[in-house]
Structure 1
Amino acid sequence: MTQSTHVVRRAIILAAGLGSRLQPITARRPKPLVQVHGVPILHNALLCLAHSGIEEVTIVVGYRKEAIIRSCGHHFAGVEITYCESPLFDRTGSAYSLWLARDALSEDTLLLEGDVFFEPEVLSRLLTGDSRDSAAIAPFDATMGGSAVTLSASNHVQSIHMNQTGDTTAGQDLFKTLNLFKFSAETLAGQLRPALDRLIQSGAVTAYVEQLLKQLVEQRNVSLDAVHCGDLKWFEIDSLADLGTAEAIFGPGRKGDDIRAAE
Structure 2
Amino acid sequence: MPTTGTHRALILAAGLGTRLRPLTADVPKTLIKVHGVAILENALRQLASCGVRETAIVVGYRSDAVEGVYGDHFRGMRLSYVRSDVFERTGSAYSMWLARDFLAAGSCLLLEGDVFFERAVLTRLLRSEHPDAGAVAPMSPLLTGSAATLDERGRARELRLNQKMSDALVEPLYKTINIYRFTAETLQSQLLPELDRTIVGGAHGAYVEQILSALIRPQGLQLGAVDCGDLNWFEIDSVEDLRIAERIFAPEQPAPEGQLAERFA
Q: Given that residues 13 and 111 in structure 1 are in contact (C-alpha distance below 8 angstroms), is that contact kept between their aligned partners in structure 2? A: yes
Q: Given that residues 150 and 173 in structure 1 are in contact (C-alpha distance below 8 angstroms), is that contact kept between their aligned partners in structure 2? A: yes
Give the counterpart of 2:72 among 64, 71, 74.
Answer: 74
Q: Given that residues 237 and 243 in structure 1 are in contact (C-alpha distance below 8 angstroms), is that contact kept between their aligned partners in structure 2? A: yes
Number of residue pairs the alignment of both structures matches: 252
What residue is the counterpart of 2:139 in the other structure? Answer: 140
1: CA distance between counterparts of 2:227 and 2:167? 21
Q: Given that residues 61 and 84 in structure 1 are in contact (C-alpha distance below 8 angstroms), is that contact kept between their aligned partners in structure 2? A: yes
2: CA distance between counterparts of 1:125 and 1:132? 13
Cα RMSD, aligned residues only: 1.2
SS of 1:167's partner is helix
Moved more, 73-82 or 167-176: 167-176
**Paired residue type of 2:59:** V
Q: Given that residues 148 and 162 in structure 1 are in contact (C-alpha distance below 8 angstroms), is that contact kept between their aligned partners in structure 2? A: yes
1: CA distance between counterparts of 2:252 and 2:37? 10
**Paired residue type of 1:43:** E
Deviation at residue 132 of structure 1 after TM alignment: 1.3
**Paired residue type of 2:14:** A
Moved more, 155-164 or 38-47: 155-164
Q: Given that residues 10 and 110 in structure 1 are in contact (C-alpha distance below 8 angstroms), is that contact kept between their aligned partners in structure 2? A: yes
Deviation at residue 169 of structure 1 after TM alignment: 2.9
What residue is the counterpart of 1:8 in the other structure? Answer: 6
SS of 2:204's partner is coil
What residue is the counterpart of 2:263 in the other structure? Answer: none
What residue is the counterpart of 1:175 in the other structure? Answer: 174
Q: Given that residues 139 and 175 in structure 1 are in contact (C-alpha distance below 8 angstroms), is that contact kept between their aligned partners in structure 2? A: yes
Matches within 5 A, 1:99-248: 99-105=97-103, 106-248=105-247
Deviation at residue 77 of structure 1 after TM alignment: 1.4
TM-score by length of 2: 0.92
Deviation at residue 221 of structure 1 after TM alignment: 3.0
Calculate percent identity across the aligned residue pairs: 51
Structure 1, unmatched stretches of 5+, are: 255-263
What residue is the counterpart of 1:259 in the other structure? Answer: none
Q: Given that residues 128 and 226 in structure 2 are in contact (C-alpha distance below 8 angstroms), is that contact kept between their aligned partners in structure 1? A: no
Q: Given that residues 8 and 107 in structure 2 are in contact (C-alpha distance below 8 angstroms), is that contact kept between their aligned partners in structure 1? A: yes
Q: Given that residues 92 and 207 in structure 1 are in contact (C-alpha distance below 8 angstroms), is that contact kept between their aligned partners in structure 2? A: yes
